[in-house]
Structure 1
Amino acid sequence: MPRFDRLTPETAVGASRELLGELVERHGTVGDMVSTMAHSPAVLGGYLQLSRAMRRAKIDRRTSELISIAVQAQQGCGMCLASHVEAARSLDVPEEKIRLAHDGTSSDAALAAIIRLGLQVYREPASITDDQVDELRAFGYSDRAIADVVGVVSLNVITGAFNLVAGLTPG
């Protein structure tokens, strides 16, 4: 059960009112997470900025969704996990790849390595080694794509943690 009320451009105040108003004007509606994030203009603004910035990531969308599935399976946000599974399916990612990502791996060595990096960034970034980064480069990942994994994980942390604190669930 949600712990916070959803806000609208009419019920939000200050910067949140402006942010929600712009979003509703552009998209017609906003989801539960965004309308609830509006309780904190700092959190909502930060989420929106990071989300926009990650659209310029060099890591491809299918890989990003698989990393997100792996991270959300660990973090425990059912709402985010369902959203990323749905997004992966919309990109025609095979069910087996989705299942393996949920388990933190892949049958493709390069994809398994980048998913493993995402999970390490989430759990224990200090454990990442030079050899691991060299392996990712050998698989063809650029330094920018490797760095983008940090952004993908960060976006998942903010959305998943917020949804869990706010009591938002799939529905």
Structure 2
Amino acid sequence: MPRLNRLTSDTAVGASRDLLADLEARHGRPGDMVATMANSPAVLGGYLQLSRAMGRAKLDRAISERISIAVQAHQGCGLCLDAHTAAARARGVDDEEIERARRGTSADPAIAAIIALALRIHREPTSITDEQVGALREYGYSDRAIADVVGVVALNVLTGSFNLLAGLTPGSDPDA
């Protein structure tokens, strides 16, 4: 059962109303997370800006989705985990690799290394070593792609934490 109200451009006020109206005009009805984030214009605006910025990330989207799966499996947001699993499948990631991502790894050593970095960023960023970053460079990751991992993790922490606080779970949409 959701803990926070879902808003629309008719029920939201101020900046949230404007953001939702713009989203509704461009994309139709926003999903539960976005509509619920509208309770805080700062959170909704920040999420939208970070989400757009990460759309320009250098990191390959299939890898980014595996990172998201690993982070969400650790964080425990079922709604995000379902969404990222579907997105990974749409990017051609097979079920075995999706299961590996849930466990925080990959059959591909280069992908396993960048997932490991993402989980360290999420769990214990002070434990990141020069050797770990150097190994990523040896696998061919640019500094930009390595830096993008922080954005992917941050976006997942924001969305997963928000959904868990708000009580949004798979199937919790009252209009579904």
TM-score w.r.t. length of structure 2: 0.96
Q: Which runs of 5+ in 1 are unaligned?
A: none
Give the aligned length: 171
CA distance in 2 between counterparts of 1:92 and 1:134 reads: 28
Q: How far does residue 91 in structure 1 lie from its aligned partner after superposition? A: 1.1
Deviations 1:53-95 (A, max 9, x none): 0011000100000000000000000000000001011111111
Counterpart of 1:6, as a letter, is R
| Unaligned residue ranges in structure 2 (runs of 5+) | 172-176
* Distance (whole Å) between structure 1 residues aligned to residue 134 and residue 90 of structure 2: 32
1:123-170 Cα offsets, whole Å, 9 max, x none, are 011100000000000000000000000000000000000000000001
1:170 aligns with 2:148: no
Report what 1:39 is aligned to. Answer: 39
CA distance in structure 2 between the aligned counterparts of 1:144 and 1:64, rounded to whole angstroms: 13
Work out the CA distance in 2 between the residues paired with 1:86 and 1:56: 20
Structure 1 vs Structure 2 CA RMSD:
0.4
Cross-structure match for 1:79: 79
Counterpart of 1:24 in structure 2: which amino acid? Answer: E
2:21 maps to a residue whose letter is G
Distance 2:71 2:4 in 1: 24
Q: Which residue of 2 aligns with 1:96?
A: 96
Structure 1 residue matching 2:150: 3-state secondary structure: helix
Which residue of structure 2 lines up, in the alignment, with residue 142 of structure 1?
Answer: 142
When normalised by structure 1's length, the TM-score is: 0.99
The equivalent residue for 1:153 is 153
Identity of aligned residues (%): 70
* Aligned counterpart, 1:112: 112
